[in-house]
């Protein structure tokens, strides 16, 4: 059942409070429901916390201009309010940037990191492309580049065979307020610069995953993220694109549980 924090963050807690907490952070333009098919298998062993980022879903608009630090502070405040001293933090796309920022800002809150389909250092051409997409969004709103986005996110077969799910994702994106969505897209475009080769380095146990055909969060980026975190593991899921965790959630839940369970053994 959805609840609202004192700062206006909509969240849900699932699973026994006696289990370690696992936080799931969604990506740009989405909301906590992207994790729906992950929660039940994860909640058998973990207390799962899902929430909506500022400006997304049922959460209030950002209290100041969006940044990775603002989103890191949002999560830190939520954990504090819920009396959660530390947690495993899993983030998808923008969420995988936010959990790295949290590990840098508040390492005491983080037990481990799971980074799904998240961008890292781009080529100059790649950086120019994502900055142009952010600018196009500012000019035309969330729908301006949505058709191309859907084609990057999902395989062609899934788009054809799952029209209801595709429409649901489109509705999530289109529900975003134009200004905050544009500013959040700029965070996705520019925020990676503050995560490259962090000093001091991130030292938490880390699993980095992406999909073979994710054009914006490539296998090379995942390997680069892992190379900057001692002992980090990398898994590349075959064939899928950016939203592989929605197309085939079991391919992400399985490795997540194996990674977390190995930490406790």
pTM comes to: 0.96
Question: What is residue 132's predicted lDDT score, i.e. its pLDDT?
Answer: 84
SS (HEC) of 164-195: HHHHHHHHHHHCCCHHHHHHHHHHHHHHHHHC
pLDDT at residue 136 in the model: 77
**Percent helix, strand, coil in the chain (nearest 5)?**
50, 15, 35
Q: Round to the nearest angstrom and report the end-to-end CA distance of the chain.
A: 32
Closest CA to 79 of 21, 2, 16: 21
Q: What is the pLDDT of residue 264?
A: 81
pLDDT at 183: 94
Residue 31 φ then ψ, to 5°: -160, 180
Dig out the tokens for 106 from the structure. 């508040």
Instruction: Please give the class, per CATH, of domain 3-123+192-264.
Output: alpha beta
pLDDT of residue 1: 81
Mean pLDDT by 10 residues, the chain (265 residues): 95 98 98 98 98 98 97 98 98 98 98 98 89 76 86 98 98 94 93 94 98 97 97 98 98 98 88
User: Any idea where the domains of the chain sit in the sequence?
Assistant: 3-123+192-264
Write down the pLDDT at residue 138: 66
Q: Strands 21-25, 10-14: parallel, antiparallel or unpaired by DSSP? A: unpaired
Partners of 234 in the β-ladder? 208
């Amino acid at each position: 059942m959805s609840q609202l924090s004192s700062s206006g963050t909509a969240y849900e807690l699932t699973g026994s409070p006696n289990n370690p907490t696992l936080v799931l952070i969604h990506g740009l333009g989405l909301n906590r429901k992207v994790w729906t098919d992950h929660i039940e298998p994860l909640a058998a062993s973990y207390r799962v916390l899902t929430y909506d980022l500022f400006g997304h879903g049922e959460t209030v608009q950002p209290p100041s201009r969006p940044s990775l630090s603002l989103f890191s502070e949002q999560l830190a405040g939520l954990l504090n309010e819920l009396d959660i001293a530390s947690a495993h933090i899993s983030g998808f796309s923008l969420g995988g940037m936010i959990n790295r920022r949290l590990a840098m800002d508040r390492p005491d809150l983080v037990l481990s990191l799971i980074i799904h389909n998240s961008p890292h250092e781009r080529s100059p051409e790649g950086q120019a492309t994502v900055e142009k997409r952010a600018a196009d969004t500012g000019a035309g709103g969330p729908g301006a580049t949505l058709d191309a986005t859907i084609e990057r996110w999902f395989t062609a077969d899934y788009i054809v065979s799952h029209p209801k799910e595709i429409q649901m994702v489109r509705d999530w994106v289109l529900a975003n307020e134009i200004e905050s969505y544009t500013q959040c897209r700029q965070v996705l475009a520019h925020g990676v610069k503050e995560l490259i080769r962090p000093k001091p380095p991130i030292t938490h146990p880390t699993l980095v995953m992406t999909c073979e055909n994710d054009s914006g969060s490539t296998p090379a980026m995942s390997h680069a993220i892992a190379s900057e975190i001692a002992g980090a593991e990398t898994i590349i899921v075959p064939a899928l694109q950016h939203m592989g965790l929605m197309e085939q959630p079991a391919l992400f839940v399985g490795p997540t549980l194996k990674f977390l369970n190995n930490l406790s053994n």
